[in-house]
Amino acid sequence: MNKNKEQLLNKRYKAEQRFRLYGLSAIFMALLFLTIFIFKIFSTGYSAFQKTWLIVPVTFDAELMMLDQNPSKEDLQDADYYDIALKSMADLDLNANEDQENELKRMVSYFFEKEIKNELLNDPNLIGKTKEVYLTASDDLDQVFKGNYPRDLPEDQRRVSDYQLKIFDQLVANGKVESKFNISFFTNADSREAELAGIASSFMGSIFSILVCLMIAFPVAVLAAIYLEEFAPKNRFTDFIEVNINNLAAVPSIVFGLLGLGVLLAIFHLPRSTPLVGGITLSLMTLPTIIIAARASLKAVPPSIREAALAMGASRMQTTIHHTVPLSMPGTLSGTIIGLAQALGETAPLILIGMVAFVNTIPGSPMDPAASLPVQIYIWAESAERGFVEKVSACIMVLLGFLIIMNLFAQIIRHKFEKKWS
Amino acid sequence: MRKNGVKMIKIKAKDVDVFYGKKQALFNISLDIEENQVTALIGPSGCGKSTFLRCLNRMNDVIDICSVKGEILINDFNINDKSCDVVRLREKIGMVFQKPNPFPKTLYENVSYGPTIHGMAQSKQEMDEIVETSLKKAALWEEVKDRLHEPGTGLSGGQQQRLCIARAISVRPEVILMDEPCSALDPIATAQIEELIDELKKEHTIIIVTHSMAQAARVSQNTGFFHLGQLIEHGSTDKIFKNPDNKKTQDYITGRFG
């Protein structure tokens, strides 16, 4: 009998140990996946924060720029920079033939003319002189410099020619190639050229969409939750509403996109591709999330607090406004932020309402066309150029950073404002 | 309190029935409650004594499925009448609950809440006065006067309950309902509250639901015994405890069931 009992006890201990082991390995697995994912993103994406520049001597020849003597500011603005820009690239190899000169030109971004112009506008005294100017390298050379480009492929399968590589290697050897922090990734809008593409438009688009979404979803959801939880009679009709709100939370987001397309764009003719429409569509999606979170936190307020207030002679509204709602706010707010974080990562509905359009301007208001971060990831991931691969990862990093900050904020609100009651 | 030897009746319940859905919880309760006396309601768990107590300030309204029939006259006014305003009623009839339930706010805000919503103070000074007298009457002032702006939930259980009493008396109610106010407290805190109840009855009519017969005997002048939703017997505490008319009362008092 005693021996049996001991065996049973041992068995129970062993079972518990096994159970702990399962739990630990589950956690380990989850962490492993996360680490692999983050490692992959970072290892591909970090190089996008660096940009390669070619340092090219440019001669600001007044004649080539069609400038008179003592040109005014306007003259400088209107001057022709294309020829000196072309010439400075061609001069990298004095023996180049016409084809090779073309190839030399393609070693920098098509922005090179403007970069040279800006140099002169900053310092008009440069006319007639020669100065080394930083020019954005083409996305392919950028990748070559970062070591992401397969140089050993046969030439006809590469976008970079042997000739370009030869010149580039000479420049590298002379210290005329430099890598700097890629500011333009954060200040430029999208571009067809990978070396010039940035996230400014989609970042602002995301922020505007989220703001619109917050301003619509939060008040509507909180009022709905308060009414349902504190005032509505419990009957079949309110049960029906509750079931439907829960159903709404489970509706695939693309359906909301179709709704936005069919109602907001087709019937109300709101401006296409704008954060306004995106935000409204996202708010439909966020609404049930916030309602459910708000109701849960209203429910979690102990009934004794309500009774205390009612017994003091507070009306139902006073009880709700003075006691229940403030106590439920931390939960409601963190639910809201989680809903917004979800909306921030949403792609499908935005594609349907046209936020997938190529936007190369930075929106100044929710009424201007814009992309959003997840859609930007989608657009870039579809692009064939090698230069966009790292941009995709970098954009994901920015989006993840944004999400982490929001979730952190939710945690802080929860901990800071949560009140303990006995 | 007796005026010229005549009992002053504060609350008069006539044929009160309470239903939770289809289930009847109270049957035909008729009970008179004397002014400025402590009335104890005793009985085994689930006998309906708390339900009856909650009828007196219409707290049962909060429960959707609960319906109350019959008349409850307070100052000769039927509170179950449609014309009765619940907010005004609860201003006159305070309540202290089983578990101390201070608001998760400061001590000061806890006590000043009632006077604020009922507009009883014209100035900050008046409010300070109300808070101070209420806390003094609840025998809590000396312990907390230096930390009025700390959270009320930081107090000990007994102090929290006295805070709840201070909160209840801050609006100068005529009646105070107490629903097992000491059941979550230790004997010392219980003794303090009982002393307090004795003091409070000078100005308020008190109705206390209690599980402890000793407590009923100590604090009350009148006692009602409930069993299975019926008021079996009521009368002066002396009589109920020493010489009850009903066999069931006798059995309960002597601990044969309950």
CATH number at residue A296: 1.10.3720.10
Summarised one tens digit per residue, pLDDT across range B84-107 is 899 999 999 999 999 999 999 999
- In contact, B168 and B199? CB cutoff 8 Å: no
Percentage of chain B beyond pLDDT 90 is: 69
State yes or no: pLDDT of A420 exceeds 60: no
Cβ contact B101–A304 (<8 Å): yes
% of chain A surpassing 90 pLDDT: 57
User: Which band of pLDDT confidence, cut at 50, 70 and 90, is reported for residue A355?
Assistant: confident
Q: Does A307 touch chain B (CB under 8 A)?
A: yes
Instruction: Give domain status of residue A193, yes or no.
Output: no
Residues 6 or more apart whose Cβ sits within 8 Å of residue A200: A186, A187, A188, A189, A362
On the question of pLDDT at B1 being above 50, the answer is: no
Report chain A residues whose CB lies below 8 A from the CB of B90. Answer: 310-313
What's the pLDDT tens digit per position in A194-218? Answer: 889 999 999 999 999 999 999 999 9
Same domain, A118 and A225: no
Tell me the pLDDT band of A66, cut-offs 50, 70 and 90.
confident
Residue type, A159: R
**Whether residue A339 has pLDDT greater than 90:** yes
Residue A419 pLDDT level (bands cut at 50, 70, 90): low
Asked if B167 lies within 8 A of A322 by C-beta distance, the reply is no
Confidence of residue A421 (pLDDT cuts 50, 70, 90): very low
CA B39 to CA B8: how far, in whole Å?
A: 13
Indicate which of B59, B67, B90 best probes the interface with A, i.e. most A CBs within 10 Å of its own CB: B90
Instruction: Enumerate the residues of chain B whose CB falls inside 8 A of the CB of residue A306.
Output: 62
Average pLDDT (A115-132) is 88
With respect to residue A16, please indicate whether it lies within any of the assigned structural domains: no
CA–CA separation, A225 and A311 (whole Å): 24
Assigned domain for A7 exists: no
Residue B200 has pLDDT above 80, yes or no: yes
Q: Do A307 and B59 touch (CB under 8 A)?
A: yes
| pLDDT of res. B6 | 62
Residue A28, domain member (yes or no): no
DSSP string, A290-313: HHHHHHHHHHTS-HHHHHHHHHTT
Average pLDDT of the residues in B132-142: 92
List pLDDT tens digits, range A91-114: 888 888 888 888 898 899 988 888
Question: Given A154, A182, A210, which residue is the final one in a domain?
Answer: A182
pTM for the full predicted model: 0.84
Token digits of residue A32: 């492993």
Average pLDDT over every residue of A251-273: 91
Q: Identify whether B75 is part of a domain.
A: yes
The mean predicted confidence, pLDDT, of chain B is: 90
Q: Which residue has the tokens 């042997």?
A: A162
| Residue recorded with tokens 């109920």 | B240
Same domain, yes or no: A312 and A178: no
| pLDDT confidence band for A393 (50 / 70 / 90) | very high
Please, are residues A378 and A215 in contact by the beta-carbon 8 Å criterion?
no
pLDDT band at residue A69, thresholds of 50, 70 and 90?
confident
The reply to whether A141 falls in a domain is yes
Please indicate, yes or no, if residue A34 is contained in any of the structural domains.
no
| Two tokens, residue B166 | 């201070």
* Boundary of a domain, candidates A137, A154, A182: A182
The CA distances from residue A61 to A58, A81, A83, A93, A125, in Å, are: 9, 10, 9, 19, 12
Confidence of residue B32 (pLDDT cuts 50, 70, 90): very high
The tally of domains found in chain A comes to 2
- Establish if A342 belongs to a structural domain: yes
pLDDT cut 70: percent of chain A above it: 99
Cβ count within 10 A of residue A180:
10
| pLDDT beyond 50 at A86 | yes
Q: Note the pLDDT of residue B62.
A: 83
pLDDT at A422 (0 to 100): 39
Any domain includes A230: yes
How many domains does chain B fold into? 1
Residue A231's closest chain B neighbor by CA?
B62
| Whether residues A89 and A166 fall in one domain | yes
Can you give the CATH number for the domain in which B199 is found?
3.40.50.300
More confident residue, A233 or A278: A278
Report residue A57 CA to chain centroid gap.
37
A14-23, A267-276, A312-321, B247-256: segment of lowest average pLDDT: B247-256
Are A209 and A164 contained in the same domain?
Answer: no
CB contact under 8 A, B90 and A422: no
What is the extent of the structural domain holding A400?
A: 200-417
Structure tokens at B140: 């809590």
Question: Among residues B98, B102, B79, which one has the least CA distance to residue B90?
Answer: B79
Q: What is the largest CA-CA distance in chain B?
A: 57
Q: Summarize the confidence of residues B164-171 as an average pLDDT.
A: 94
Residue of chain B with shortest Cα separation from A307: B59
* Confidence band, pLDDT 50/70/90 cuts, at residue A325: very high
Is residue B163 a part of any domain in this protein?
Answer: yes
* B258 lies in some domain: no
Question: Hey, are the CB atoms on B101 and A234 less than 8 Å from each other?
Answer: no
Please name the residue ranges forming H helices in chain B: 49-56, 86-92, 107-117, 124-137, 141-144, 157-169, 187-200, 213-219, 237-242, 247-253
**Last residue within a domain, chosen from A151, A182, A213:** A182
Query: At B258, is the pLDDT very low, low, confident or very high (cuts 50, 70, 90)?
Result: low
Any CB–CB contact under 8 A between A304 and chain B? yes
Which of A:44-83 have CB within 8 Å of B?
Answer: none
Identify whether the C-beta of residue B171 lies closer than 8 Å to the C-beta of residue B120. Answer: yes
Interchain contact A154–B (C-beta under 8 A)? no
Whether residues A142 and A227 share a domain: the answer is: no
Residues 6+ apart with CB under 8 A from B55: B13, B16, B18, B26, B68, B72
ipTM: 0.90
Domain of residue B155: give its range: 2-253
User: Is A264 found in the same domain as A167?
Assistant: no
Across all residues in chain A, what is the average pLDDT?
Answer: 90
